[in-house]
Structure 1
Amino acid sequence: MKVLKELIYSDLHEWVKIEGNIAYIGISDYAQNLLGEIVYADLPDIDTVVERGDQFIVLESEKDASDIFAPLSGTVAEINEELIDNPGLINESPYEAWIVALEMTLPAEADDLLSPDDYEKLFE
């Protein structure tokens, strides 16, 4: 299982990369392995407002459909449109295939997310 040191993580296996007031969100290597081959991504509309903990993405694999929950509160500023036609990019490069970019409304919520070391401890 690969964990990138420059990211922060939720205990539900989302990763977050913060650039200014924008949080890029994807799923971890562990999560994509668990899901199996992702065949469909149901992405939120731009300008959708989410609160931390809201279900806002559904990823479908050959095994099952999985809800993805917002690790932070904010407004969807951008979606990764490449995933509409090729959701398998998440399996190929889970840390490059971000899913949504969220304009954070409560940036301090990021302090509640896990450091890479703390995320790895979930698997000990």
Structure 2
Amino acid sequence: MGMWELVVIFIVGLVVLGPERLPVAIRTVSKWIKTAKSMANSVKAEVSEELRVHELHENLKKAEQQELKDLSPELQNSLTELQKAAKSVTHSYKKNQPDAPNNNERDEKK
């Protein structure tokens, strides 16, 4: 939208809504626009992440087909990234687990 279009919209809004309701209407429209932008950015980020995960998955399949030998730098980077992600998930999982006795200790107590 150009400057003149905004001026026309402002004048029409001023005539139709009046000077009392125009600021409220502008704020409401502004909130709608911000909400729509944030939703669009959220969807864009999710799609981007899904594409990245899909690419890593494809690279992992290629690496498995080559039996993890003589990998291209791209495949090696993907494999390293997946290994780091797996370690971080395992590490955070262990942190959140309470110190529960293992099966052997429970069997001995019975």
- Please, what TM-score do these two structures have when normalized by structure 1? 0.16
Largest Rg, 1 or 2: 2
- Please, what TM-score do these two structures have when normalized by structure 2? 0.17
Which has more helix, going by share of residues?
2
Which has more strand, going by share of residues?
1
